[in-house]
Chain A
Amino acid sequence: MYQVRFLTVAPQQEGSIKEEPVPEVQTRGTWQFDWALNKLDNSVRKTGRIPKSLLLKVFDEISKAGCPGSNQTLLLLRSCGALLPEILSPERTELAHMIWDKMKELGAVYDTSHYNALLKVYLQNEHKFSPTEFLARMEEANVQPNRVTYQRLIAAYCNEGDIEGASKILGFMKSKELPITEAVFSSLVKGHARSGDMKSAENILSVMRIAGVEPGPETYLSLLNAYAEKGDADSIKKTLEEVEKTEGYLMDRILMQVIFSLAKAGYPQYIEDIKERIKFERELIPDVMNLCLTLTTHGFEDISFRILKSLSHLSRDNVDQGSFFLQHCVNRDTPLNKLKQFCTELKESKMHSAPLPFILRCALEANKPALAIDVMKMMKEEGLPIRPHYCWPLLVGFQKEKNLKGVFEVLKVMHELKVELDAETYTDYVFKNFADSETAHAELKKNDCLFESVGLSVAEIKYEAAHGRLNNVLSLLSSPSTPPIDIRQLRSSLISGFKSSNDVRLWSKITELLYKDERYCLTPPGPTEAVGYFLYHLIDSMSDSEVQAKEERLRQYFHQLKKMNIVIPTSYYSGICRLLDSSQLPELMKDARLLSHKKSLSTDDIPESAKSDVSALEKKLEKRKAENQPITDVLKQLIHALCEEENMQKALEVKAKYEPDMVVGGYAALINLCCRHDNVEEAMNLKEKVFPKNSPVALDAGKYIALVEALGRHGRLEDAINILTEMKEKDVPISDRTVASFLRILNAAATRGEVETVNRLHETIVNLGLAETAVLHSPLITVHLEKDDMPAALEALIDCYKKYGKILQLHNIYCRLIEKGDADLLQKVSDFISREYGDMMALYDLFFAFLQTGKYKEARKVIETPGLRAHSGRLQWFAKKCITNNQMETLEQLVELTQNLFECDRDEMYYYLLQRCENNGDWGKAEAVWTKIQEENVVPREKTLALLANILEKNGQVVPFEAPKVRQEPTRSLSVPNTEERKIRMLCKKNNAKEAYDIFLKTQGKSEFQYRSYDTLIKALLAQSCLEEALKVKHIAETHIKGFTLNSAASSLLIISQVRRDYLKDAMAVLKGMLDSGLFPTRPAVIALTQTLAEKGDLKNLQALKNMLEDITKSVGVSASLIANAIALAHTKNNDLDAAVEYLEPLLISGAQNPDQAVRNISYLLRKVSEEGLEPALEKFGAMAERLASQFGIYRPVTDLFLQYVSAGRVDDARSLVQRYGALVEEKRTLGSFMARSAVKPGQAKKIETLLELIPEHLDMETAYCYLMRCYELDGDVASVKALYEKTKAKNIQLHDLSLKSLAAFLKKVGEPVPFDEPPESFKFYVEKWRKRKLEAS
């Protein structure tokens, strides 16, 4: 904080206030310290000062919250010194004492740091006090003084010229072997000087050197101030020249303090000489401002103004300078003539464009009416416009004071100054003082300030109208003394008056006046237009209910208007009709024709092709072909299905076979498929054929991208560019995803080092305007970095900037250049950045690059460039980079090197360091950071303290301060804060939910956990069916974390548990909650809930469930059939078979026609009724299935029935069914999956045997035997296994390798010889092969 440097009267060694660990914080309110700190700290960093009002506000907030924290109090105390340049010292000290006492009252506990801060305030304010008493007070409070305390007490003695007192303490410090720093010596310089002994004062410098302490700026300042106080200009000059010779820098701020000393000591004549030595640069502005403020505060506004004018050469275009000065002058009651002189000079020197209006505003804000009026008079003289609203704050002020005389005075002044007395002035600021406008009128007249004007008349009418006094409005309007008024001025008040009145007669009369009296229809369009407009807005401003309530009155109103021959334009008329219609009162406008357009939107939603069954589609296709029916749709579905299965070969074959029937969509899918399989040739062929450049048909962006990508990989650059051009020509919509793909393509080429490819593709993309994000340009540079071609990289960088105005990859280029030691190029890039972005940016880039490459010495040189300021955004960027990349050393250097950086937020810097420590769990380093923070005299934010405490605690260390509680921050949720919580998570991971729960209960009330921990625990409990426990945890979580919701997995588990316990209502509620918050339940949860509801016959909830799941069945992965089956089952359970069939049958029929979301199978229903022996139901559904097959050719239900018979061992029923409906065997896929399902559980060999018996000719024998073999294996039926193997050999059926592999394993396990060569590969290999074969076959 340079402010300290600026106005330190007794220089101190900063940075050691809190050398001892801060004693524990006793109390802490809920109030957030951060807010106050930010406010004050920002103010200090930006301006070097704190406005008194801000300090008081923060103080107020802290007091209100009660229990101030240790650092809050410290913060407030520290702000009561030189940081308040706008207040005189005694008042500042008073403020400090007030804060001290108040905080103590509120329970603040003071430690050494607070006493030291108070001392500092005393010194800065030159407050006279007794050091011994101060020490006694500390002792009494049992607070130990430290080195800083002693240093400051010495300074206090020296302020009074009391060398003896100072020496006593100095002796004491020496006896305690405390180091004597420059701060002490510079105090002694002042002490000697003030005791009148300049010789000794000067001599201190040599004493210092002997003691091994080099005199620094502090010492010189002390000496210079001493000369200034004596008015010894020669010595000042001599000293300055000497210092300039030896040190040569940082003198400007010191010089400014000397100016202040000279002013105070009464030697203004020497100031000019000092001023000339100061280089008034932009960086110095905050300091100069503070000097000006301080000077003005002490009554040296003329000197202050001279200094201010030194800034005139720094004026930026059109930015006013000196506002702060003028404002402060107003606040300090600078005489009017001086103010006027300042304003004139500022205006003349073009530093301020409008100083008089500005000080007027200041006067108004500071509530100085007399001054404000004087300024207005001055403005009048200058010929500046004076607006009515300038006087409003004055009127408000008097109104609040109930000072009518003041109000009248203002009005008189306004009149005198020829300020327009407009309607607003009267309605908003004058009439409020009176009961009504009539009283106002009378009172104004009585006090000689009734100035007749249009404004007054308008105001009276408006005021009366707004207060609903329409009779007064009417009389005012009809009064002959009322001047012509534009009706628009009255509109809104009249409307509100009309609305609050029910007197139709008055409505009509007023309207008539407006229409017929020439005074009120001045505007060209005439009364018709004006009244129409008014009526429309009147109705428009009424709510539906208002219109409805006033229906009858409105009718009368219209009626009367008609009688008065009032006509309005048709446009307003029909507008009113529309309004009435929307208020559901069409009858009010009988003869109105309401033209309402209802646009019928053609919903052209093409449903996404459902996942289709390849084999079924093929069959269907062939059948259609054979029957000479159109096949395009089926063909498209088939192609899509094949694409989905990634079967390029087959897809291309199908395409070739049915070429004439191929549609565009099919080709598009094929092209994409070819690109995925890197078959560029075919993809391009297809594309050229179906989507040629000149055809209007386009692919979508994703497919074009796939093409470009594949072409790029194959080096077909020209083709790729053509595709991009085509995208543009065909106006293909470009999404964010497309842009990301562009970047991916470019980056891929850059990594391959293909400069030409990158450049050309990039050029095309950009030239065509396909994408415009900056990051897209980055590969242009990356490609050269990849090739380590630095000159080219740099050229690309500059080129990029010139063309697109973006700087990219700069940090990488810098680092690479530094690593290579290429000074020339480094200079070049630095020059370039300086030129384009200013020196500051270039310096930061260089600084970061040196840090990154470990060249800290060079980095230090850069960051210490005079005038460089902290740029929090840039610092954060680099710090975050270090944190993410685990660069502790670099980060430490960053923090260290920025210590003296102007405006640097030190707390933030240390917070970065701690974040890194947290990630590493490096508590040792964290503790070191803590010491550093104290040494640097930084008041840490709570956030920082909390993080520090967290790191120490987590690593089992003692926290040396009371850790503030910090609300859950999302950034923090990645780390686990306490040990219990970690233990709980660990146990949950090990499935030891019970134990975790026990720990959880024990820690209850002691600590709160993170979101994720609750979630984990609940999930673990549910997984072990501990529903009650889980619910309890959930409840606790909900009370601790606002808006706590379980995640999808945990909620789904909860549903399953609830279903298991029959808490169906609760389960439904949970499901609803999930869907409401956008979570998807898992498939098992939905199935469990659906089936149980069906079992219970709970139709109501099933229907509700169906509605809830309507749109998301696909996402969840449950088929539409499931719910339909469940509902039918529920009907069955309710003994309403007819309803079940009525419900199900139409669904099955429409399902067969619409492949999307289709209800096709009824196997679940059949299995349930069959298992539960509900024979009538089975019969009923069987009849339905047969009907569907015979009448509609829908075979799936009858197939399901057939398989149900097979499953239930009702072979005869099955046989008779298949005899009647032979086509059911065509449902190959259903049969296949039936067999597959049978072969996963033991004891189901019979099912496949039955199938083999009933429909051998329709089964794929190989597959069937494989499954059957697996069944026998599962049953451990060695004899059957062997028999079956023999049979395959006899029938010459080739078993699949997977089957053989499995068989071999089985035989070996049971100790039988393997009668064939075991397939050599692993199981996995054959499983894969089997899967592929199935895909191809189907």
Chain B
Amino acid sequence: TEELKEYFSQFGSVQRCQLPFDKDTGFHKRYCWIKFSTPQDVQNVLQKETHILEGAKLTLKEQPRRRRSQRRNQSE
């Protein structure tokens, strides 16, 4: 979680970062939520084409319902 937060902080101030885990398997659920302070931060993130964090390619999706928050999927 901290690493995700750190990584995304380069694009803007991260308010909240959640990486849910499946307690039945011990693996994370391959997605996490990052909440940014401003929409501009979100745009900064989206501008970069590929995000790779520790060997995992991240796919980004802006979450429209809650403003300024966005979701990303983690996948290889």
Contacts and interface: CB of A to CB of B under 8 A. Distances in A.
Interface in A229-261: none
A571 B21 CA distance: 34
Nearest to A327: B76
B28 to A, nearest CB: 7
Contact of B54 (A319, A357, A395): A357
Interface in A333-376: 352-355, 357-358, 364-365
B52 A318 contact: yes
A387 B50 CA distance: 24
A1214 interface: no
Among B27, B50, B52, B55, the most chain A Cβ lie within 10 Å of the Cβ of B55
A319 B24 contact: no
Contact of A320 (B3, B24, B49, B52): B52
Interface string B17-51: 00001011111100000000000000000000110
A352 B55 contact: yes
Nearest to A432: B23
A393 B52 CA distance: 23
B55 A392 contact: no
Given A318-B50, A389-B28, A429-B26, A353 B21 contact: no
A364 B25 CA distance: 10
Most buried by B among A355, A364, A396, A397: A396
A604 interface: no
B24 A323 contact: no
Contacts of A396: 23-26
A389 B76 contact: no
Given A319-B57, A365-B27, A392 B21 contact: yes
Contact of A392 (B26, B50, B52, B57): B26
A391 B54 CA distance: 17
Interface string A104-131: 0000000000000000000000000000
Contact of B55 (A353, A395, A429): A353
A353 B52 contact: yes
Interface in A386-404: 387, 389, 391-397
B23 to A, nearest CB: 5
A314 to B, nearest CB: 15
A24 interface: no
A428 interface: yes
A389 B21 contact: yes
A428 B27 contact: no
Do most interface residues of chain A lie in helix, strand or loop, or is the interface mixed? helix
A1257 interface: no
A317 interface: yes
A561 to B, nearest CB: 30
Contacts of A387: 3
B25 A354 contact: no
A608 B3 CA distance: 60
A387 B1 CA distance: 10
Contacts of A319: 50, 52, 57
Given A323-B76, A389-B21, A354 B54 contact: yes
Contacts, number: 51
Nearest to B51: A318
A375 B23 CA distance: 23
A320 B57 contact: yes
Given A389-B21, A392-B21, A358 B55 contact: yes
A317 B50 contact: yes
A389 B50 contact: no
A681 B49 CA distance: 55
Contacts of A389: 21, 26, 28
Interface in B53-70: 54-57
Contact of B26 (A318, A320, A394): A394
Given A318-B50, A319-B50, A323-B76, A393 B55 contact: no
Classify the secondary structure of B's interface with A: loop
Interface residues of A, number: 25
Nearest to A427: B23
A320 B25 CA distance: 26
B27 A393 contact: yes
Contacts of B28: 389
Nearest to A365: B27
A387 B6 CA distance: 15
Contact of B27 (A352, A355, A364): A364
B5 to A, nearest CB: 13
Contacts of B54: 353-354, 357
A387 B4 CA distance: 13
Contacts of A397: 26
Contacts of B56: 354
Nearest to A396: B26
A366 to B, nearest CB: 12
A355 B25 CA distance: 22
Contact of A428 (B3, B23, B76): B23
Interface string A426-441: 0011000000000000
A353 B24 CA distance: 29
Contact of B25 (A317, A318, A352, A393): A393
Nearest to A320: B55
A364 B27 CA distance: 9
A508 B57 CA distance: 49
Given A396-B24, A396-B26, A357 B55 contact: yes
A365 B28 CA distance: 12
Contacts of A318: 50, 52
A355 B57 contact: no
A355 B56 CA distance: 10
A392 B25 CA distance: 8
Interface string A1008-1045: 00000000000000000000000000000000000000
A420 to B, nearest CB: 11
A615 to B, nearest CB: 54
Contacts of B50: 317-319
A35 B26 CA distance: 30
A1039 B23 CA distance: 44
Interface in A773-801: none
A689 B59 CA distance: 57
Contacts of A353: 52, 54-55
A988 to B, nearest CB: 47
A317 B49 CA distance: 10
A1274 B5 CA distance: 89
A1221 to B, nearest CB: 65
A318 B76 CA distance: 12
Contacts of B52: 318-320, 353
A354 B55 contact: yes
A1312 B26 CA distance: 104
A356 B12 CA distance: 29
Nearest to B24: A396
Nearest to B27: A393
A357 B76 CA distance: 12
Contact of A395 (B26, B57, B76): B26
Contacts of B27: 364-365, 392-393
A690 to B, nearest CB: 41
A1125 to B, nearest CB: 50
Contacts of B25: 393, 396
A353 B3 CA distance: 16
Contacts of A354: 54-56
Contacts of B24: 396
A385 B76 CA distance: 20
B62 to A, nearest CB: 19
Contacts of A317: 49-50
A213 to B, nearest CB: 46
A225 B24 CA distance: 49
7 contacts: A317-B50, A320-B57, A323-B55, A353-B52, A358-B55, A391-B26, A396-B26
6 closest A-B pairs (Cβ-Cβ)? A354-B55, A392-B26, A393-B26, A396-B26, A358-B55, A354-B54
Given A365-B27, A396-B25, 13 more contacts: A317-B49, A318-B50, A320-B57, A323-B76, A353-B52, A353-B54, A353-B55, A355-B55, A357-B54, A364-B26, A396-B24, A397-B26, A429-B23
